[in-house]
Amino acid sequence: MKTFLKVLVTVLFFSSLTVLNAEDGYRLWLRYDLIDNPAVLTQYRKAITGYMAAGNSQTIEAAKNELQMSLSGLLGSQIPVVSTVKKGTVIAGTPENSPIISSLKLNDKLGRLGNEGYLITNSKYKGKKIIVITANTDIGVLYGTFHFLRLLQMNQGITDLSISSSPGTKVRILNHWDMLPIPGRKSAGNTIWKWDELPGRLDSRYTDYARANASIGINATVLTNVNADARLLTPEYMEKVAALADVFRPYGIKMYLAAKVTAPIEIGKLQTADPLDKDVIAWWKKAADDLYNYIPDFGGFVVKANSEGQPGPLDYNRTHADGANLLADAVGPHGGIIMWRAFVYDNKVPDDRIKQPYNEFIPFNGKFRKNVILQVKNGPLDFQPREPFHPLFGAMPDTPLMPEFQIMQEYFGFTTHLVFLAPVYEECLKSDTYSKGEGSLVARIVDGTISDYSLTGMAGVSNIGADRNWTGHIFGQSNWYAFGRLAWDPYISSAEIADEWVRMTFSNKEEILKPISRFMVESREIAVNYMTPLGLHHIMAAATHYGPGPWVDKDPRDPREDWTSLYYHRADENGIGFNRTSTGSNAVSQYYPPVRDMFNNIETCPENLLLWFHHVSWDYKMRSGRTLWDELCYRYNDGVNKIREVQQVWDNLKPVLDAERYENVRERLIKQVRDARIWKDGCIVYFQTFSRRPLPPGVEAPEHDLEWYKTHRYTDIPGMF
């Protein structure tokens, strides 16, 4: 009870802060300001006269407090809590806790919505028109409450409601790539987790974090980097994690941890971490038991193993299935799950790095425990601006797979560039794998429609940090929002998500809504064009991943060839691109025949992936009628011109936007336009040393020579590693 009192205090604290400093971005999309459309406001004031929330759980209290804050703020007057139903009452609760809702006989509809789904409907009780938000569970009621409030924020009609919604995936999880503090230091970098203060002091941001996640249906979190720290399994840190779990629980958010395979050695003093060793098995069982003593609803572990130097079962001549099943057996009796990441590549450089995950996991289809789900990146390489969908989707019908998307813009300009990532997620989810014939979309595999997975999920690598506005760039918030909405509904479109976010974050006014939502949806393609058009990939600067580096022939962190740009673009005097066809690395063979055949044929391969799959002559005739060289130059040029147009649109919006958020974006757009020009110029100058062809008419000439771009260093970029 004490913990939830802290929750209530922080909710009220959050509300008071928004009055003092309403437009610094802290409120995210949960802005409950007075509706500025008089007609809509009048309609809502007539339709909503009071509210009640049935039940006494902490989750119902959270829903009640959200209704209190939002209705009073949006409608501009105190909306009372009522004890008896009158016309215009909003009633939230389950049939079990509310005799009123029970009398409406909605059980048939609710029966199809599971444990987290909800129903929002207009109804009548004793002749009085009311609005009902109901579900089978309290968390469903909270999700439904947030959906209803979203309707109000978006100025939607509420007199003919008949909404039923349930999540498309069961585990909708944020992966924070944050580090624990270095021993002897308090700081752990740009993280919202104040480890030195836990468990004694609970920062108010933790509650607001939980509210924001619950509002978009995110129901799980991993606090730290997948390059795991074994200290998380010590009593000191388990106590800290348990304190956070207490804050998150009323909002339906389960706690997960990143597990390090060698923890039995590092903190258990064992001589081995062999997953088949009896002492190792016993150690993990006890570690799991201890965790569940601290956190009874602990969710489980996410594991990165045998990748990028992280230890794993292969170090002991065991398999990924052996490693995952060891942990699955430890958490299974408590209801826990294991998310085993399929992002792997060998210490030896292969003929084509992208083939390894498929080759390494396919032999073990059906050999993982039922509480194991493989966490697979959306593409086969590493969160590049554009990749084809991962060939593992559809290829393991007896092993649940969950996509891992990056919300953090590691290859998209970090917190500097405005890039709305929903199109990246949507492109993957709506890709047709043909695993069971036409229509076998990744989304239908992920949600269990096709493969009938009992365990489903979606993971997002978080971009949340210690910035007052949470994500550094105001528009970074939209990617957090987009991930949550697609994890709940994998079929919603990027345009719909952008429309929602702009309405809730900025305004419902058309002069603001239309231009912002339009350039948001276009921003991903703009960035691809000025960075890596036509299927180019992994040509960024070494180490920082910020800015161009097609000339990188050695990464300072590792001499391996597949950490260089040359390995991927393979430019020479004859052409450019990685031949992954049947005459090259044959990576196309990992896809089902219709997809394989499409990618394998240069005439049918989508042009936006052409250089991913083919080494193409500089003079190859593109569908536009241009040569490949000219098309490449025009794409780079178009990316620069388009981001300049976005900058101009934003500048024109200054009179109708609040100063602080306007300036946050304006400053970053100035850098983004500069960076786009550097990307274009540096890449064109470099690739021109191979093509030996002039710039086509209309392409802006580079400002500097190649040596300038090779030696240029950025000193003003926030949000980098």
Q: pLDDT above 90 covers what percent of the chain?
A: 90
Which whole number is the average pLDDT over 369-389? 98
Bigger pLDDT: 182 vs 372: 372
Catalytic site positions: 308, 382, 410
- Mean pLDDT, rounded, for 496-506: 98
Question: Tens of pLDDT along 515-534?
Answer: 999 999 999 999 999 999 99
Strands 616-617, 575-576: pairing kind = antiparallel
pLDDT for 187 equals 57
In this prediction, residue 15 carries a pLDDT of 40
Nearest-angstrom CA–CA distance, 38 and 329:
59
Q: Is the pLDDT reported for residue 702 higher than 60?
A: yes
pLDDT value for 86: 95
Least confidently predicted of 147-151, 185-189, 458-462, 659-663: 185-189
Statement: residue 20 has pLDDT above 80 = no
The pLDDT of residue 16 is above 80 = no
Q: Is 507 helix (H, G, I), strand (E, B) or coil?
A: coil
Long-range CB contacts for residues 493-497, cutoff 8 Å, separation at least 24: 493/426, 494/420, 494/422, 494/423, 494/426, 494/521, 495/521, 497/422
Q: How far apart are CA 658 and CA 207, in angstroms?
A: 26
Per-residue model confidence (pLDDT) at position 719:
61
529-578+615-711: CATH number? 3.90.1330.10
Highest mean pLDDT among 21-30, 433-442, 539-548, 711-720: 433-442
pLDDT in tens, 263-284: 999 999 999 999 999 999 999 9
Determine what percent of the chain is predicted with pLDDT higher than 70.
95
DSSP string of 592-617?
Answer: -HHHHHHHHSTTTS-GGGHHHH--EE
More confident residue, 721 or 574: 574
User: Minimum mean pLDDT among 326-335, 348-357, 389-398, 488-497: which range?
Assistant: 348-357
Residue spans of the domains in the chain: they are: 32-165, 171-495, 529-578+615-711
The mean predicted confidence, pLDDT, of the chain is 94
Would you list the DSSP string of 285-299? Answer: HHHHHHHHHH-TT--
CA–CA gap between residue 30 and residue 545 (Å, rounded): 32
State yes or no: pLDDT of 720 exceeds 70: no
Q: Whole-angstrom Cα distance, residue 518 to residue 649?
A: 11
pLDDT at residue number 349: 67
Does the pLDDT at position 420 exceed 60?
A: yes
Residue 229: per-residue pLDDT: 96
Rounded CA gap, 293 and 285, in Å? 12
Residue 316's pLDDT band (cuts 50, 70, 90): very high
Token code pair at residue 387: 């990749």
| pLDDT value, residue 186 | 59
> What pTM was computed for the model?
0.96
Q: What is the pLDDT of residue 716?
A: 81
Q: Residue 455, Cβ neighbours under 10 Å: how many?
A: 18
DSSP-based helix, strand, coil % in the chain, nearest 5: 45, 10, 45
Dmax (CA) of the chain: 82
Mean pLDDT check: name the lowest of 181-195, 228-242, 687-701. 181-195
Q: Are 214 and 253 in contact (CB under 8 A)?
A: yes
Question: Rounded distance, CA 279 to CA 292, Å?
Answer: 20
Domain 32-165, CATH: 3.30.379.10
DSSP SS3 for 525: helix
Return the CATH number of the domain spanning residue range 171-495: 3.20.20.80
